Amino acid sequence: MTSSNAAGPARALPTAADVDKAADRLAGVAMRTPLVSSPVLDELAGGQVFLKAEVLQRTGSFKFRGAYNKLSTMALARRASGVVAYSSGNHAQGVAAAAALLGMPAVIVMPRDAPAGKIARTAALGAELVLHDRGRGDRGAIAREIAAQRRAEIVPPYDDPMVIAGQGTTGREIVEDLAAGGLAPDVVVVNASGGGLAAGIALAVKAQVPSAQIYTAEPAGFDDHARSFQSGKRECNAQTTGSICDVLMSPSPGELTFEINRTLVGQGVAASENDIARAVAFAFHELKLVVEPGGAVALAAFLTGKIALDGRVAVAVLSGGNVDADLFTRLVA
């Protein structure tokens, strides 16, 4: 199966087999994060809910999985020129960490208004930073210009087969760990920006549990996936700033990711900023986990009853925990 792109040749979509190969590459490198449960959450949600704690992943989010899988598949002759990525923070840190492990130079294009902690941690991982104004210019164009100058390879945040396959190892672990307890997922809810995590998880989960329902979760006003599923085409958000979920503000679903998600996902929910803030606070007070707002939207969907479980087994992915201390303090209070 392929997807065409007006700017270039058709690209093959990743498969569940690609996720399996990514799992082999990530073995012993990425953390196998736990599934966390809570009787309080089960009662509130009306089912048996597990939280995939990617907040405990290397660099504090699932993004390390896709970045390392992508970089580790690059030809040795290409690695010396390094990589270029564009990100508000989690993909930035994932690429920077993967590049450091593989001995590759990395340049990261980041918005100036990205959380200060994410900028500092990306720099601390050894990446060269190029800051830009989020509301002006095209971060992808900036990255492509730098890559052309340096003959480096672009590492997209989501719209890349190897990135998607790497993120899919999250879903592979969900199915395997539930199976170890004699369970299978009926519902899996995934925070979505460009859709790479949702696409990867959908590939892995649906290959093993075809009956599972996959949902995307987005902040209200940035629910481009939910609207795209309804219209059958990639819809755009009206704005690219203005949410506490700084990691979930991509303008539209990715091309490759939407090809996968409209078939394997096809449904999405949105949560208000207040509901997301309460989910961040719930994770801290009830589960003792630090979750950034963009990592808590799927949890908010269960806490607010947006998805009726009726006793079924469900999983929400806590996709990241990189939140500024000041914002986190306000949210949990």
HSE-up of 132 (CA within 13 Å, CB side)? 19
One digit per residue, the tens of pLDDT, for the chain of length 333 reads: 555 444 445 678 999 999 999 999 999 999 999 999 999 999 999 999 999 999 999 999 999 999 999 999 999 989 999 999 998 789 999 999 999 999 999 999 998 888 888 899 999 999 999 998 876 768 889 999 999 999 999 999 999 999 999 999 999 999 999 999 999 999 999 999 999 999 999 999 999 999 999 999 999 999 999 999 999 999 999 987 889 998 888 899 999 999 999 999 989 999 999 999 999 999 999 999 999 999 999 999 999 999 999 999 999 999 999 998 999 999 998
Query: What is the pLDDT at residue 2?
Result: 55
Query: What is the pLDDT at residue 317?
Result: 98
Query: What is the pLDDT at residue 1?
Result: 52
Q: How many residues does the chain have?
A: 333
108's CB contacts (< 8 A; 6+ apart) are: 84, 85, 86, 87, 92, 95, 96, 122, 127, 128, 129, 130
Query: What is the pLDDT at residue 111?
Result: 86
State the chain's maximal CA–CA distance in angstroms.
56
Is there a contact between 282 and 51 (Cβ–Cβ < 8 Å)?
no
Query: What is the pLDDT at residue 10?
Result: 60
Q: How far apart are CA 138 and CA 152, in angstroms?
A: 18
Q: How far apart are CA 254 and CA 113, in angstroms?
A: 23
Query: What is the pLDDT at residue 3?
Result: 55
CATH number of this structure's domain 64-154? 3.40.50.1100
Query: What is the pLDDT at residue 80?
Result: 93
Every domain of the chain and the residues it spans: 2-61+160-332, 64-154
Q: Which pTM does this prediction carry?
A: 0.94
| DSSP letters spanning 121-164 | HHHHTTPEEEEE-TTSS-HHHHHHHHHHHHTPEE--SSSSHHHH
Handedness of CA 8, 251, 223, 238 (dihedral sign): negative
Query: What is the pLDDT at residue 8?
Result: 45
Which CATH number is 2-61+160-332's, of 3.40.50.2000, 3.40.50.1100, 2.60.120.560, 3.50.50.60?
A: 3.40.50.1100
Q: Name residue, tokens 């306000």.
A: 330
